[in-house]
Structure 1
Amino acid sequence: MSAERALIVGASHAGAQLAASLRQEGWVGEILLIGDESVLPYQRPPLSKAYLAGKTTLHDLAIRSSEFYAKQDIQIRDATVDSIDRSAHHLSLADGDTLTYSKLALCTGARPRRLPVPGADLTGVYYLRTAADVELIRAAAVPGSRTVIIGGGYIGLETAASLRTLGLEVTVLEATERVLERVTAPDVSAFFTRIHVDEGVTIRTGALVEALSGDGQVREVVLAGGELIPADLVIVGVGVEPNTELAAAAGLAVDDGVVIDDQARTSDPDIVAAGDCASHEMARYGRRIRLESVPSAGEQAKVAAATMCGKSKEIAALPWFWSDQYDLKLQIAGLNTGYDEVLLSGDPAQDRDFTCYYLRGGELIAADCVNRPRDFVNSKRAIAQRLPVDRAELLRAGSG
């Protein structure tokens, strides 16, 4: 066995993929994947969907089996990393142990943004990021319970859909003027509002939460202006923050994420980063972006593994995302930042399938496809290859 040792901090989607890719790229030394949950790396997107709704188990969500890690001689350790000593090439763990590394990967992910209001620490207030979070929510999710979800983004709406299927009363509070305001066009926001209202969800926009109140257990959400909304449980989904403290304390460049180049390398040539914690300059969009996307985490991890093995691969794939709500699958190709025109194929005010195309300067830059997998595949290709836009063809497109 070579004396080379690769340490991966974070048993996330990125961390699990990076460990597997290291072997594929020819790494023959030790591989140690360090995570702070006592379970195998698992898929996180289903947590707010099938897992919360009780349709799948944590075993089902494992990214790879224990047999895979054993066969590939990948060690997994449940531990917390306290600090990185770059000059000595070692990590200090919370349990007092020290581990040396030849190459280091940071896949530390992100954590839920906390709600900065009085009463946010009451019992019955939950965040949804880990399997343990979901188990706590499920235990509290008694049919008929009044649930208030703070945040009308994807996590909030997916959670609302799952809890409605479990028979809870659900109210979604969104601070801005429409749900999904930061990520979609008004037509798409209106569509998801219609669907959720039809399913019995109450949606309140322009709803600023001032405090949570209760007698140790949350009982009410207090809005600006004094209105009280009864709540048996509250779920907060107001975004995430990248876990960059470890990198920053070690002196690595950080800018809304650990800064990486096209090879997933940080400002230290022996350290790479991938996933939700990583911030990457994307030439296609002309800016530095931190993507909260499983496909992007996987691609960055594969590139990072190649870099650790001394090979040269580049992060190049088009970002894409998805969201499952009720019987709807929303698939998103590209990033719509800076769009100046929207084209609609289908009628989001009436239908349960449609595509919203986003253009900038006449170029297709993104597409939101609801129950239209063919449109999604075609849009991904057109955006990645920067194909000329045939408006009539886009409007003719449909489900497939």
Structure 2
Amino acid sequence: MEKHIVIIGSGFAAYQLVKSLRKLDIAAPITVITADSGDDYSKPELSHVFSRRQTAGDLIKQTADEFAALQQIELMNYTEVQSIDTKAKIVKLPDHQISYSKLVLATGASSLVPAFEGNATNEIATLNSLAEYANQQDRLASAQSVVVIGAGLIGTEIAMDLTLAGKQVTLCDRATRLMPTLLPSFLGAELYQVMVENQVRVKLPSTVQAVNRHHQQLIVQFDDQSYVEADVVIAAMGLKPNIKLADDAGLAVNQGILVDEQLRTSAQNVYALGDCAEFGGKVRAFLQPTMLSAMALAKTLLGTPTSVKLPASLIKAKTPWFPLSLSGKTTGAQTRWEVTRDDNGYIAKAFDRETGTLIGFVVSHEQQKSAFPLLRQLPAD
């Protein structure tokens, strides 16, 4: 089929691409193949479903059928792709195969769960997709105590939300501070204090060794021989790009699927987008770069090669006790900080020690209104 675009995946990246394509061409044949339901939902909302007492169904903006009808696409849900033949330009499914003119891998990323010891490692919950939350929502609703492993952005957001929902929460990480890849030490320390004041038990640094079930309780054991009992254990330890399908097809992969500035993989007419793609040496898991990449890729797929240009991206943390917006390089030894604080919150600016150039910032509370003027001063991502 001429100009047949096939997209593997149905997450934010895939559906942003579909919407971008339809803004440019209402008639181009598009097929989306996904292993899950294909329902359209807002993934960031998973960080505060507990305090809002939302079910997985509450998060669905459009069902798969509604999305497919509105966007005029063929959507094949609950369908596993077995392999890709990039020479024949074929996607092989369990019972048939589909030809493509352009193929986009938007396979996303999976929650990283280390191989802990113990008899209950298979009971560790992850919340990286609507399906994962749907599988765990009843357990989480009835749980009184929860251990969250991983004190990065997502783990911290989830820990706050669970506490607001009335759960007893323990947040642990082997790092020495909260959100260690995003916050400088002085802000990490203040966030720690805020969490403790709001009755979150924070164990830092603390490495989980085992997760065992003992009767009705899960027992999380740490390297210092201490342990915590909980009804549910959640892993929020980061994401691992889903690259196996690409790797098996002979595409160049590293941490993610390697793409150039036009999101082209090492195979002709095959592209990658979103959490699975490694562009410029980075896997960019936030919404803004994915949206901009989808817009550029749509033009490329429809015959106008367009390079991805990414400005500095703004990250807004859904941390109601300590609301934050940040961008750029906000950690590192070569950073000099200029900090102002008043009743409205923090404005913390990061400068390169050698050049004096603004390279990042963190703003909190009412000072978040300063984010966009600062963002415009940062170099492109």
Aligned to 2:378: 383
Secondary structure in 1 matching 2:36: coil
The percent identity for this pair of structures is 26
Structure-2 change in CA distance of 1:213 and 1:68 (3 Å): closer
Aligned to 1:26: 25
Q: What is the deviation of 1:254?
A: 1.0
Q: What is the deviation of 1:239?
A: 1.0
Q: Which structure 1 segments of 5+ residues have no match?
A: 282-287, 387-400
- For the Cα contact (< 8 Å) 2:194–2:322, is it kept in 1? no
Aligned to 1:17: 16
Question: TM-score w.r.t. structure 2 length?
Answer: 0.90
Question: For each residue in 1:22-58, what CA deviation from the matched residue of structure 2 results, as whole angstroms up to 9, or x when unmatched?
Answer: 2223373310112222142321111022x23335565
Q: Which amino acid aligns with 1:226?
A: Q
Structure-2 change in CA distance of 1:205 and 1:246 (3 Å): same
Q: What is the deviation of 1:122?
A: 4.3
Aligned to 1:332: 326
Question: For each residue in 1:343-395, what CA deviation from the matched residue of structure 2 results, as whole angstroms up to 9, or x when unmatched?
Answer: 22316xxx673232222231112222223332111111111479xxxxxxxxx
Larger mean Cα displacement after TM superposition, 326-335 or 162-171 = 326-335
Determine the C-alpha separation between the residues in 1 that align with 2:141 and 2:242.
Answer: 33
Aligned to 2:2: 3
- For the Cα contact (< 8 Å) 2:181–2:331, is it kept in 1? no
- For the Cα contact (< 8 Å) 1:330–1:369, is it kept in 2? yes
Q: What is the deviation of 1:261?
A: 1.2
- For the Cα contact (< 8 Å) 1:160–1:201, is it kept in 2? yes
- For the Cα contact (< 8 Å) 2:109–2:275, is it kept in 1? yes
Q: Which amino acid aligns with 2:368?
A: P
Determine the C-alpha separation between the residues in 2 that align with 1:341 and 1:170.
Answer: 34
Q: Which structure 2 segments of 5+ residues have no match?
A: none
Determine the C-alpha separation between the residues in 2 that align with 1:97 and 1:216.
Answer: 47
Question: For each residue in 1:286-344, what CA deviation from the matched residue of structure 2 results, as whole angstroms up to 9, or x when unmatched?
Answer: xx111110111111111111111121322222233222123543222234365521222
1:263-278 mapped onto 2 (5 Å cutoff): 263-278=262-277
Aligned to 2:83: 83
Q: What is the deviation of 1:219?
A: 2.4
Over the residues paired in the alignment, what is the CA RMSD in angstroms? Answer: 2.4
Structure-2 change in CA distance of 1:111 and 1:337 (3 Å): same
Structure-2 change in CA distance of 1:289 and 1:341 (3 Å): same
Secondary structure in 2 matching 1:259: strand
- For the Cα contact (< 8 Å) 1:219–1:232, is it kept in 2? yes
Question: TM-score w.r.t. structure 1 length?
Answer: 0.86
Aligned to 2:159: 160
Q: Which amino acid aligns with 1:154?
A: L
Q: Which amino acid aligns with 1:336?
A: T
Aligned to 2:206: 207
Secondary structure in 1 matching 2:274: coil
Determine the C-alpha separation between the residues in 1 that align with 2:349 and 2:175.
Answer: 23
Aligned to 1:374: 369
- For the Cα contact (< 8 Å) 1:7–1:33, is it kept in 2? yes
Aligned to 1:138: 137
Q: Which amino acid aligns with 2:346?
A: F
Q: What is the deviation of 1:215?
A: 3.5
Structure-2 change in CA distance of 1:130 and 1:52 (3 Å): farther
Aligned to 1:389: none
Aligned to 2:50: 52
Q: Which amino acid aligns with 2:287?
A: V
Q: Tell me how many residue pairs correspond in the alignment.
A: 374
Aligned to 1:297: 290
Q: Which amino acid aligns with 2:92?
A: S
Aligned to 2:339: 344
Q: What is the deviation of 1:191?
A: 2.2
Secondary structure in 2 matching 1:234: strand
Question: For each residue in 1:207-250, what CA deviation from the matched residue of structure 2 results, as whole angstroms up to 9, or x when unmatched?
Answer: 11111122376521111132121222111111110001111111
Secondary structure in 1 matching 2:278: strand
Secondary structure in 2 matching 1:341: strand
- For the Cα contact (< 8 Å) 1:143–1:167, is it kept in 2? no
